[in-house]
Amino acid sequence: MTEADLFVRLLTSSAPRWVAAKWGLIAASVILMGSGCVAPKITADPVYYPSAPAVAHAVHIKSFNRLDELIPLRPTLADVLRGQSISPEVAKPAGIAHVAGHLYICDTDMNAIHDWDLATGAARQLGTDGDARLSKPVAVAVDGDGNPYVADTGRSEVVAFGDDGRVRFRLRPPERKTYRPTALAIRGSVLQVTDIASHKVDAFATEDGRHLGSFGEVGSALGQFYFPMGLAADATGRLLLSDMMNGRVQVFDGENHAVLSMGQPGDRYGDMGKPRQLAVGPDGVIFVADPEFGRVHLFDNQGRLLMLLGGDGEQIGSTPMPVGVAVATELPESISSLVPADFRADYYLFVCNTVGVRRISLFAIGRQVGGEARDDE
């Protein structure tokens, strides 16, 4: 009989073998077509730090350039019709901050600040238009009201945005001939900014931008610094400063007196190369990005080295030229579900690199459960 006859019989017959064949064919088609819709999962072993056999305190989650590599984005019909890529992309990140569910990234190639809402996927760029155009934004900090402050070395000023994206005011210390702001931190209601032209830390009021004072001088003694490239405030009101040319991180108290120094120039564990931006975790762990080592140093709040994170090269989890770090205490379910099952994540760390295939890396900081306890914690 002809194929047409067979087909008709398949569709209409009620004989058991034909019914079975029909439903089998339907099931197979559904499975085949459905499998095309499922994206293949890249299965690779998660990278732990430190690596086995030590108990891991950090694990690499993923590295990304685009928002849709971090969280799934649902394209709107307008985006599909426009045919455009719906995901914003970072070109060359120089500084990073995470506040209230928003990830802020300074992009020195596009000369703008990316503001990504990780819960909803909404994204915008600050400093792209007209008067607000940024020249070379290298660091960003956000205060409690959601106002971003951007250190722009190209314009030699700090630009204070409102949370709606308009410029509130521009900050520059009075009577300073050259000004190159490189790092910011919010300590209470005060914005602290480092300056590598005069090697000082300035304080401005966050509500109106008044210059409140400055401290610091060039040198290598405690309390002195040379090329301060990172600034962070911890929960107790201390200010941490990354002293790049002295290869160390110094801690200043509320009166701006240096109370602690960690690290020294060198090439071993416990030394630092050229420390850049830093961040403090909720448990007091200090994260310092070091492009000379190609890694992030982790110190405890007494200045003892905990471990190194990241690595050179292109392998998964590498941080080839880390310059910025940001701590996130909470992340949406779509990201936190990516943490391996044998790891308890207490909080998260974003690291941004100026080079590399995927330039922002996300790590979970916590503890690997199910392993033997072999350390102090």
Partner 1 sequence: MNLLIFLIAVAGTVASAVSGWAMMGIEGSRHDLSNMAWSNGDTCGACHSPHNEAPPKAAPLWNASADLSRTFGTAIGDPVAPGSGTRTCIRCHDGTIALDTIAGVNRDRFVNKQHLGLFKTGHGRTDHPVGMKYPQFDKGFRPMNSVLAQGEVHLPDGRVECISCHDPHNQSGLPGMLVMSNYRSSLCLTCHRK
Q: What residues make contact with partner 1 under the rule CB under 8 A?
A: 50, 53-55, 57, 91-92, 94, 108-111, 136, 138, 153, 182, 196, 217-220, 224, 226-227, 229, 245-247, 265-271, 273-274, 290-295, 298, 300, 304-308, 313-314, 320-321, 323, 354-357, 359, 374-377
Per-residue burial over 284-316, b = 16 or more CB atoms within 10 Å of its CB, e = otherwise: ebbbbbbbbbbbbbbbebebeebbbbbbeeeee
Nearest by Cα to 179 from 159, 160, 196: 196
3 state SS of 166 = coil
Q: Where are the beta strands (DSSP E) in 57-199?
A: 58-64, 93-99, 102-107, 112-117, 123-126, 137-142, 148-152, 157-161, 167-171, 181-187, 190-195
Q: How far is the CB of 189 from partner 1 (least distance, A)?
A: 27
Which residue's CB is nearer to partner 1, number 288 or number 298?
Answer: 298
* Residue among 45 and 314 whose Cβ is closer to partner 1: 314
Q: Which is nearer to partner 1, 327 or 335 (CB)?
A: 327
Considering the complex, state which of residue 229 and residue 328 has its C-beta at the smaller distance from partner 1. 229
The H or E element spanning position 318 is none
Nearest distance, CB of residue 34 and partner 1, angstroms: 35
Looking at 113-209, list the stretches that DSSP marks H as alpha helix, in order from N- to C-terminal side.
Answer: none
CB atoms within 10 A of CB 17: 8
Nearer CB in complex with partner 1: 204/225: 225
* Residue number with CB closer to partner 1 (229 or 278): 229
Q: What residues have CB less than 8 Å from 14, skipping those under 6 apart?
A: none
How many angstroms separate the CA atoms of 374 and 377, rounded?
9
Task: Return phi, psi of residue 173, to 5°.
Answer: -65, 135
Cβ distance to partner 1 smaller for residue 129 or 145: 129
Q: How far is the CB of 298 from partner 1 (least distance, A)?
A: 7
Closest contact distance (angstroms) between CB of 110 and partner 1 is: 5
Specify the residue, 118 or 327, whose C-beta has the smaller distance to partner 1.
Answer: 327
- DSSP assigned state of 319: -
The tokens describing 59, both together, are: 């694990």
Smallest gap from residue 169 Cβ to partner 1 (A): 23
Instruction: Between 224 and 256, name the residue whose CB sits nearer to partner 1.
Output: 224
Q: In the Cβ-directed half-sphere of 117, how many Cα atoms lie within 13 Å?
A: 8
Q: What is the CA radius of gyration of the chain?
A: 26
Instruction: Report, in Å, the least distance between residue 118 CB and partner 1.
Output: 23
Please, what is the minimum distance in Å from the beta carbon of residue 312 to partner 1? 8
CB of 37 to partner 1, least distance (A): 29
CB 244 within 8 A of CB 229: yes
CB of 270 to partner 1, least distance (A): 5
